[in-house]
Every structure is written in C-alpha cells, then in structure tokens.
Amino acid sequence: MSEAAARPGLVDGARLQLRVIGALVIREMHTRFGRQRLGYLWLFAEPLLLGGVIALLHGASGGEGIRSSFEFFSIGFMLFQLFRGIVARAPNTINANQSLLYHRQVTLPDLFFARHAIELAASAGVMALFVFAGIAMGGEAPDHPVKMILALVLMLLLAQGLAFMVGSITSEFEAVGYFIQVATFGLMPICGLMFMVEWLPAEWQEAALWVPTVHLFELMRDGQFGEQFNPVYDLAYVGWWIIVPHLLGLAGLRIARKRVGLD
C-alpha cells in the first residue's frame, strides 16, 4: 500500500500540517466560544476562576510558608488544568470532527494537536497571570522560570500521548469516555498538585514517585521556589511516560482512522 508521486516533501508537509492545525484552532475557538471577540476571554476565565478559588481557599486555611501560599496552589493548578483539559477532552475529539476527514489533508493527530495548542495557551496564559499576581501581592519572583516552562512542556507531552491513547480507545468504546472524565478529577489528590514529596511520610514517598505527574509538579516548584525545599524528580522516568503512550496512541489512531465510519 503506497501513495506515491504527490506525497509532499518534509518541508511542504510540515507547512501543510501547520496550516491545517492553524485552521482547526480558529474553528475550535469559534465553536467553543462563539464569534464575539470577547468570547475568547472565556478560554482564560474558567481556569482563572477555578485556580483562583482553590488558591484562596487554601490561603485562607492558614499555615505558613510554601504550603499555604497563593502561588503554590494557583500556579500548580494550571499545570493540573493543562493535563486535565487535554486528557478529559480527548474522548470526543474524533467523533466531534469526523466529517472533517473528508478533506484528506486533515489527519487524526491534527485534531488533537489543535485542541492541545488551545489548552496550552489557556494554562500558560493564566499561569503567567498568577505569577504576576503573586509578585504583586508581595511574593517572590520565580527562582528559575525555565524550569517552570519545561514542566509545562513536559506536561503537555505527557497529556498528549495519553490523549492519543484515550482518543483511539474511545472512538471504538465510547463508554470509556465517561470513566476518563471522572478519572482525571480522581487524579487531583495524587497528581502532585496538593503536596511536595518531602512532606510525605517516607513510606509514601516512593509510591508517590510512581505517578509521572508528581515529578513535573516537583520540577515546576523547583523553578518556582528554588532553594526553599528539596524537590525530587526524575525526568527520564517522565520521558518513558511520554514516549510509550505516544507510540501506542499514534498506532491506535492509525487503526482508528481505518475504522472511523464516514457515512
């Protein structure tokens, strides 16, 4: 099986794919937020409200230091929001856009890339806002912003591989989608958002480090707070959690592409 001759070169192929993803982003924004210019603000409003409320609740509960600081929860929540936004939206990505496959330049991964770009923009945008809000309220500037950005990018990739898997599975078994919605919320207490590994009892620390997102929260807080605590993370471990789901997920999408009905 081959498609010869008109197959574009690498550069043209990349250009074509970027064009398609760009068009999908615009379309997704229009369908999600309507056509009014201010509609785009909703993209930021939801994470802003959720993150702000959670951070304020924790701030009001007292305590000192990092553990109760506004920055700890507001900025951490954006990292969680990025993961949740991508994975929880994965189940209906194929169904909602099936008819676009009539245009042969639109591929299944493109549908996901477009949504992930939107989620990244929302989470990173609101995160930056919280960083500045934290400074304005008398907090310290991040110790090492590059580490925070790296944590965001790795979280994007981690969520992306899982989203490919979830997307291909749910295109065949729709009911799995409902489970995913619940499961992403169930992850909240164990994903690393609520704790630092060093706060845990010794016997729990090892267990916590099995969860890949925990490493990314540690990395993010390393960049955020610097020397104020001892972060624990192993990025090679996270790397496996990125690579293996990508391979499985992309293979799954190839299979799904053959099975998606177009009638």
Which residues of the chain form contacts with other proteins (CB under 8 A)?
A: 1-6, 16, 19-20, 22-23, 26-27, 30-31, 35, 99-106, 258, 262-263
DSSP tag of 260: -
Euclidean distance between CA atoms 41 and 120, whole angstroms: 15
Euclidean distance between CA atoms 124 and 104, whole angstroms: 32
Euclidean distance between CA atoms 181 and 135, whole angstroms: 34
Toward other proteins, which CB reaches closer, 200 or 260? Answer: 260
DSSP tag of 142: P
Considering the complex, what minimum distance in angstroms separates the CB of residue 169 from other proteins?
18
Secondary structure in 3-state letters for 209-234: CCCHHHHHHHHHHHHHHHHHCCCCCC
Considering the complex, what minimum distance in angstroms separates the CB of residue 113 from other proteins?
14
Toward other proteins, which CB reaches closer, 89 or 147? Answer: 89
Which tokens hold the place of 44?
Answer: 């930021």
Considering the complex, what minimum distance in angstroms separates the CB of residue 26 from other proteins?
7
Toward other proteins, which CB reaches closer, 82 or 118? Answer: 118
Toward other proteins, which CB reaches closer, 67 or 257? Answer: 257
Considering the complex, what minimum distance in angstroms separates the CB of residue 114 from other proteins?
11
| CA torsion through residues 28, 31, 43, 78, sign | negative
- In this structure, the number of other CB atoms found within 10 A of the CB of residue 198 comes to 12
Euclidean distance between CA atoms 210 and 204, whole angstroms: 10
Considering the complex, what minimum distance in angstroms separates the CB of residue 110 from other proteins?
9
Toward other proteins, which CB reaches closer, 27 or 237? Answer: 27
Euclidean distance between CA atoms 134 and 120, whole angstroms: 21
Toward other proteins, which CB reaches closer, 26 or 141? Answer: 26
Q: Which helix (H) or strand (E) holds 16?
A: helix 10-33
Considering the complex, what minimum distance in angstroms separates the CB of residue 112 from other proteins?
16
